[in-house]
Amino acid sequence: MEELAHAGVAELGRLLAAREVSAVELARMQLDRIERHRDLNAFLDVRAEVTLAQARAADERRARGEAGSLLGVPIAHKDIFVTRDWASTASSKILQGYMSPFDATVVDNLARAGMVCLGKLNCDEFAMGSSNENSAYGNVLNPWDKGAVPGGSSGGSSAAVAARLSPVATATDTGGSIREPAAFTGITGTKPTYGRPSRWGMIAFASSLDTAGLMTRSAEDCALVFNEMLGFDPKDSTSVDAPREDFARHLNDPVRGLKIGMPKEFFGAGLQPDVERAVRAALAEYERLGAKLVDISLPSAELGIPVYYVVAPAEASSNLARFDGVRYGHRAAKYDDLIDMMKKSRSEGFGPEPKRRILIGTYVLSHGYYDAYFIKAMQVRRLIAEEIQRAFTQCDVIAGPVTTSVAFGFGEKTTDPVAMYLADLYTVPGSLAGVPSMSIPCGFGDKGRPVGLQLMANHLHEAKMLGVAHQYQQATDWHLRVPQGF
């Protein structure tokens, strides 16, 4: 049974359909692994009785003749999605113990498909961070090297999939929070087009950027889960009303003749040699498969970081205003009046990073600075998006590194927030433009730590991007590598 921990979504679906294993057996096996590897601190809330009840219900559905590639397959959810049966805290003390009266749309869609939830996953507080060192409940460890960060903000999701504690996990990406942790832990992490997944029930950070996605073993697994996860949601005003589609339809398309754009700005100063070697080797593999590499330029990409750290904190300062101690969440035990209660509740409940971003956001939105900072940032954001659109007239997909380096050690960047923010240098442009992007494992760098290759496609071209990734994964085995001891 333990060997099934190394099976992906597609294989588990086939085994469940053939009645070679039951959903209850899979759930128990995964719960046992989660318990054995608690030192990773990937899970914040595990409730075995609820998980096993869902697994029994999945088995009963199959016994009644129901089918489905995801029916009975385990999944874990980032603690940024609200859930009825597990606490929803956004890894913050201000929401400690909060139980939502409803499930997020993403959670509900996958539950309807019969997926069995294993619990809630640790993340940076309110999804703010690049290292998972900002969680109020402690760091998540990287299974490849427990002295290294797993990436953030979806570090719990990436560590859980890398350590085979769950075959798939939900995650969110605001400026790179799916792709960067996926690269740091050697798994496949995919952010769809902004608006494709519903944001309803996803605790908000930056509303014009937040995008739900997945951590999986492979592109094939991601495609299967996207088929049930993505879709129009009338409860979300930013939801894209696009026809439902089969995201697996291009998996077997050869890449011969495909044009892969290489932004020269992604291969300049700052990119570490070990990462560059692995990425260029992956691109050479695509050439061997028949793809053509095309040099492109994204001249405004270097402005992505300053633009992002104006826009995202501005939206965060607005979104986090709802956590005031009045309606739900933490309330200070002692206070003099309403204003004092709000001040103390927020001071006690928020960690350093949300406070920092609230202050930055409030500043750039304040009178006298709104035009100089926020409006200017939105104008440059448009330039970045237009440059990416022009690039897609020269190539089918854009490829390059996900991060400048492999996973760094705990504490290496916590004293310098700007250095931490620069970790998102290559991922932020895709987020600002709202295009689908992903990280696939492509080798190892210094200290045996994983390296990821980033792929970007045009809006609503997830299926094409997943097919390009799948062809690489059919030709290589980096995505099958497992950390020692797991």
153 flagged as catalytic: yes
Catalytic site residue from 22, 69, 78, 120: 78
Catalytic site residue from 131, 135, 166, 177: 177
- pLDDT at site 2: 86
For strands 292-296 and 437-444, give the pairing. unpaired
Q: How far is CA 410 from CA 139, 145, 186, 402, 468, in A?
A: 9, 11, 18, 19, 34
- pLDDT at site 419: 76
The rounded distance, in Å, linking the Cα atoms of 434 and 172 is 13
The rounded distance, in Å, linking the Cα atoms of 443 and 35 is 29
Q: Which domains does the chain have, with CATH numbers?
A: 2-256 (3.90.1300.10)
The rounded distance, in Å, linking the Cα atoms of 167 and 30 is 9
3-state DSSP assignment of residue 11? helix
439 flagged as catalytic: no
Among the listed residues 21, 29, 44, 52, the one whose alpha carbon sits nearest the alpha carbon of residue 116:
52
The terminus-to-terminus CA distance of the chain in angstroms comes to 14
DSSP conformation class of 372: I
Answer whether 356's CB lies under 8 Å from 420's CB: no
pLDDT in tens, 202-218: 999 999 999 999 999 99
The rounded distance, in Å, linking the Cα atoms of 255 and 247 is 17
Q: Burial, 235: exposed, middle or buried (Cβ in 10 Å; 0-12, 13-18, 19+)?
A: exposed
The rounded distance, in Å, linking the Cα atoms of 6 and 222 is 16
- Listed as own residue / partner, the contacts of 481-486 with beta carbons closer than 8 Å and 24 or more positions apart are 481/186, 481/441, 481/450, 482/6, 482/164, 483/143, 483/144, 483/162, 483/163, 483/186, 485/143, 486/37, 486/143, 486/162, 486/163, 486/164
The rounded distance, in Å, linking the Cα atoms of 134 and 154 is 11
> Which residues touch 344 (CB under 8 Å, ≥6 apart)?
325, 332, 334, 335
C-alpha neighbours within 13 Å on the C-beta side of residue 90: 23
For the full predicted model, state whether its pTM sits above 0.85.
Answer: yes
Q: How far is CA 359 from CA 226, 307, 315, 365, in A?
A: 36, 16, 11, 10
The residue type of 90 is A
Answer whether 196's CB lies under 8 Å from 112's CB: no
Answer whether 150's CB lies under 8 Å from 58's CB: no
3-state DSSP assignment of residue 215? strand
The rounded distance, in Å, linking the Cα atoms of 205 and 200 is 13
User: Phi/psi of residue 324, each to 5°?
Assistant: -120, 5
Answer whether 87's CB lies under 8 Å from 99's CB: yes
Catalytic site residue from 69, 88, 153, 154: 153
Q: What's the CA dihedral at 34, 175, 372, 314 to 10 degrees?
A: -30
130 flagged as catalytic: no
The rounded distance, in Å, linking the Cα atoms of 13 and 21 is 10
The residue type of 217 is R
State the residue for tokens 């869609």: 109
Cβ atoms < 10 Å from Cβ of 25: 17
- pLDDT at site 478: 98
Answer whether 231's CB lies under 8 Å from 192's CB: no
- Using alpha carbons only, give the angle 43, 462, 290 rounded to the nearest 5 degrees: 115
pLDDT-flagged residues of the chain (< 70) = none
The rounded distance, in Å, linking the Cα atoms of 187 and 154 is 12
Q: How far is CA 160 from CA 140, 217, 411, in A?
A: 10, 11, 22
The rounded distance, in Å, linking the Cα atoms of 119 and 31 is 9
Answer whether 118's CB lies under 8 Å from 31's CB: yes
Pure H helices in 154-193: 155-162, 179-185
